[in-house]
Amino acid sequence: MRDLDGPSAGIAARALVLAGHMHATPRARALWSGRLAEAPVPGWLAAVHSAAQEAFQRNRDALYWFDAYLDAVDLVDVSSAYALFASRADGRSFEHGSAQLQARCPKMPPLQLLRWNLDVADANERGQRRDSEQEKLCAATRRLPGLGFWG
């Protein structure tokens, strides 16, 4: 995270964007509740910080609801937790979810397995649309068309 103190706003923005896409580990949570709790400066970097913070929180929330989905014991809780997971999930969340499911599949309760099989295609599509919207941005700024990598 030394790039947060980099020689230019672009380097600091890159560090913020990357921090927003970290997996919600205890170390990443500590970073976001400590050093990254506040935007570094007002203006454009504050907008980049806000977008990165939202991306991190979205993934953290999705993983929380995915764990609640796996631990649910009745159909209402399974459906509710899955709906909340899908509302916050993006590509990272589905990669994590698929790995978790494969690890737990032999002992997976039938309700969770049924719900996953029914809704994974729809939720994955929503996550891909969210990812696609993010690809149109560069450091929380809409890219201008015709600028190669930047457009």
Give the tens place of pLDDT for each residue, 21-53: 888 889 999 999 999 988 878 888 898 899 899
Residue-range domain boundaries for the chain: 2-150
Higher pLDDT, 75 or 111: 75
What span, in angstroms and rounded, lies between the C-alpha atoms of 119 and 79?
A: 10
- pTM of the predicted model as reported, rounded to 2 decimal places: 0.72
Higher pLDDT, 121 or 64: 64
What span, in angstroms and rounded, lies between the C-alpha atoms of 130 and 132?
A: 5
The pair of structure tokens assigned to 55 is 């991306």
